[in-house]
């Protein structure tokens, strides 16, 4: 344990826990006050069995696919899941983790990942892999938020994490500066598998904080499949939905 972690633990012992969104003092250490918790849109059934897109009308059977997945012949992914919708309420926690060193949001968000990924864990996972950052961005930001989430999720599930098999070889501009097709182009050939023997024949779970168009996750899945991964799933804390 680092000294700062140690001091924070001591402080936490004396200071009451606070809501991670509004900062209000809360009675238990669940992370959010009841009001802020209510604002979070957790994704629950019914949703597409493959891509996890919520259905607005309940289908009769649970194995239904959305229009896109029903027509797609070959998909890179076995399943895509996200715990919550990306909206004003969840944004706060995720941006805090990504840009403002709010790494103490990780345990709460990892708990959400475990809940949101139930279908994936039931189907079986051999290895967790976080979406990698380019080393220059890692130097600038000091940590990879996806790796922190993967580490915590591994503690909750007992599934091993690999931080070095998948590498971001090209320095790309943040996806947020592009839209649609430009995002696909931006991350094209940005990743490679350094140690194919680590992923070959394995059921891989890719972890990221947010899924928007899915271009980054798709590009990662593509190289993992090429390296011989048996299946690839994606699990993100949040996801945007556009119709
Ligand atoms: Zn609150
Ligand atoms: Zn679908």
Per-domain boundaries in the chain:
20-239
Return the CATH architecture of domain 20-239.
Answer: 3-Layer(aba) Sandwich (3.40)
Q: Whose CA is closest to 152, among 191, 121, 99, 109?
A: 109
For the CA of 49, the nearest ligand:
2
Centre of ligand 1 from the C-alpha of residue 89, in Å: 10
Centre of ligand 1 from the C-alpha of residue 107, in Å: 17
Vertex 45: Cα angle to 115 and 124 (nearest 5): 50
Q: Would the pLDDT of 62 be above 70? A: no
Mean per-residue pLDDT, 47-58: 87
Q: What is the CA radius of gyration of the chain?
A: 18
Q: What is the pTM of this model?
A: 0.89
Band (pLDDT 50/70/90 cuts) for residue 145 is very high
**Could you list which residues have their CB under 5 Å from ion ligand 1?**
19, 21-22, 33, 36
What is the reported pLDDT for 64? 86
Strand locations in the chain (E)? 80-85, 127-130, 166-168, 191-193, 203-211, 231-239
Q: Whose CA is closest to 151, among 121, 128, 118?
A: 128
Centre of ligand 2 from the C-alpha of residue 50, in Å: 5
Mean per-residue pLDDT, 162-189: 85
What is the reported pLDDT for 58? 67
Centre of ligand 2 from the C-alpha of residue 80, in Å: 9
Centre of ligand 2 from the C-alpha of residue 5, in Å: 41
Centre of ligand 2 from the C-alpha of residue 64, in Å: 9
Centre of ligand 1 from the C-alpha of residue 108, in Å: 14
Q: What percent of the chain has pLDDT over 90?
A: 60
For the CA of 23, the nearest ligand:
1
What is the reported pLDDT for 111? 96
């Amino acid at each position: 344990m680092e000294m700062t972690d140690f001091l924070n633990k001591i402080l936490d012992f004396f200071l009451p826990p606070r809501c991670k969104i509004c900062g209000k003092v809360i009675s238990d250490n669940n992370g959010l006050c009841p009001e802020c918790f209510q604002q979070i849109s957790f994704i629950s059934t019914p949703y597409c069995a493959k891509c996890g897109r919520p259905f607005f009308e309940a289908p009769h059977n649970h194995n239904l696919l959305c229009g896109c997945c029903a027509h797609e012949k070959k998909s890179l992914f076995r399943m895509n899941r996200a715990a919550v919708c990306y909206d004003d309420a969840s944004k706060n926690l995720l941006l805090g983790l990504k840009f403002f060193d709010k790494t103490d949001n990780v345990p709460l968000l990892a708990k959400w990942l475990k809940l949101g990924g139930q279908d994936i864990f039931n189907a079986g996972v051999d290895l967790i892999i976080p979406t990698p950052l380019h080393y220059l961005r890692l130097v600038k930001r000091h940590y990879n938020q996806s790796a922190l989430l993967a580490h915590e999720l591994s503690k909750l599930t007992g599934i091993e994490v690999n931080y070095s098999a998948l590498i971001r070889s090209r320095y790309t501009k943040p996806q947020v500066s592009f839209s649609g097709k430009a995002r696909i182009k931006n991350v094209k050939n940005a990743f490679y598998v350094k140690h194919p023997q680590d992923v070959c024949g394995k059921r891989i779970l890719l972890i990221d904080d947010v899924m928007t168009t899915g271009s980054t996750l798709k590009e990662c899945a593509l190289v993992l499949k090429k390296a011989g991964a048996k299946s690839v799933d994606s699990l993100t804390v949040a996801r945007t939905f556009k119709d």
